[in-house]
Amino acid sequence: MYKEYDYVIIGAGIAGSSTSYFLSKHFSSILLIDRNCDVAQGASGAAGAFLSPLLGKPNKFKDLVTSALKFSSKLYKENIPEEINNCGVVRIPKNNEDLKKFKTYEEYMDFPYEKYEDGYLFKIGSQVNSYNICNFLTKNIEKKFNYEVNKIEKKDGFWLINDEIKAINLILTTGADISLIEEKYFSLRAVWGQKIDVYTNSNINRNYHKECSLSASKFDDIKKKNIVSIGATHHRFNCDLKVCNHCIKSANINKIFSHSYSQSTVNKDTEKLLKLANDIKHLDDVEVFDIKIGARASSVDYFPMVGKLIDSKKTIEKYPHLKNGSFIKDDMFSMIDNLYVLNGVGGRGFVLSPYLAYNLVESILKNNFLEESIKVNRLFKRWVKRSS
Ligand X SMILES: Cc1cc2nc3c(=O)[nH]c(=O)nc-3n(C[C@H](O)[C@H](O)[C@H](O)COP(=O)(O)OP(=O)(O)OC[C@H]3O[C@@H](n4cnc5c(N)ncnc54)[C@H](O)[C@@H]3O)c2cc1C
* Burial status of residue 67 (CB atoms within 10 A of its CB: 0-12, 13-18, 19 or more): middle
Q: Does 354 bind ligand X (CB under 6 A)?
A: no
* Burial status of residue 48 (CB atoms within 10 A of its CB: 0-12, 13-18, 19 or more): buried
- The reply to whether omega before 295 is within 30° of 0 (cis) is no
Which amino acid appears at position 109 of this protein?
A: M
* Nearest-approach distance from CB 90 to ligand X, in angstroms: 15
Site string for ligand X, 224-243 (x = CB under 6 A): -------xx-----------
Stretch that binds ligand X, among 94-102, 107-115, 169-177, 333-341 (CB under 6 A): 169-177
Q: Does 341 bind ligand X (CB under 6 A)?
A: no
Q: Which of 206, 209, 225, 296 binds ligand X (CB under 6 A)?
A: 296
Nearer to ligand X, 250 or 367 (CB): 250
* Nearest-approach distance from CB 256 to ligand X, in angstroms: 14
Could you give the CA distance from residue 137 to residue 30 in angstroms, rounded to a whole number?
A: 13
* Nearest-approach distance from CB 39 to ligand X, in angstroms: 8
- Taking residue 103's Cβ as centre, other Cβ atoms within 10 Å add up to 10
Nearer to ligand X, 119 or 347 (CB): 347
DSSP string, 268-325: HHHHHHHHHHHHHS---S-EEEEEEEEEEEE-TTS--EEEEEE-HHHHHHH-GGGGGT
Q: Does 34 bind ligand X (CB under 6 A)?
A: yes
Whether the Cβ atoms of residue 65 and residue 51 lie closer than 8 Å to each other? no
Q: Does 351 bind ligand X (CB under 6 A)?
A: yes
Footprint on residues 299-328 left by ligand X (CB under 6 A): none
Counting residues that bind ligand X (by CB under 6 A) gives 44
Q: Which of 102, 113, 333, 350 binds ligand X (CB under 6 A)?
A: 350
Q: Helix, strand, coil proportions of the chain in percent (round to 5)? A: 35, 25, 40
Stretch that binds ligand X, among 43-51, 138-146, 261-269, 299-307 (CB under 6 A): 43-51
* Nearest-approach distance from CB 20 to ligand X, in angstroms: 11
Footprint on residues 178-217 left by ligand X (CB under 6 A): 180, 193-195, 213
Could you give the CA distance from residue 251 to residue 204 in angstroms, rounded to a whole number?
A: 33
Q: What one-character DSSP code corresponds to residue 219? A: E
Q: Which of 8, 23, 30, 49 binds ligand X (CB under 6 A)?
A: 49
Q: Which of 85, 138, 174, 315 binds ligand X (CB under 6 A)?
A: 174
Q: Which of 88, 119, 307, 349 binds ligand X (CB under 6 A)?
A: 349
Whether the Cβ atoms of residue 14 and residue 350 lie closer than 8 Å to each other? yes
Dmax over CA atoms of the chain, in Å, equals 69
Q: Does 9 bind ligand X (CB under 6 A)?
A: no
Stretch that binds ligand X, among 53-61, 135-143, 268-276, 342-350 (CB under 6 A): 342-350
Alpha-carbon radius of gyration of the chain: 21
Stretch that binds ligand X, among 28-36, 60-68, 260-268, 365-373 (CB under 6 A): 28-36
Could you give the CA distance from residue 78 to residue 72 in angstroms, rounded to a whole number?
A: 10
Kindly report the CA angle at 171 between 52 and 30, in degrees rounded to 5?
100
Q: What are phi and psi of 126, to 5 degrees?
A: -145, 170
Site string for ligand X, 129-158 (x = CB under 6 A): -------------------xx---------
Stretch that binds ligand X, among 1-9, 55-63, 172-180, 319-327 (CB under 6 A): 172-180
Could you give the CA distance from residue 370 to residue 383 in angstroms, rounded to a whole number?
A: 20
Q: Which residues bind ligand X (CB under 6 A)?
A: 10-16, 33-36, 41-44, 46-50, 148-149, 173-175, 177, 180, 193-195, 213, 231-232, 294, 296-297, 343, 345-351
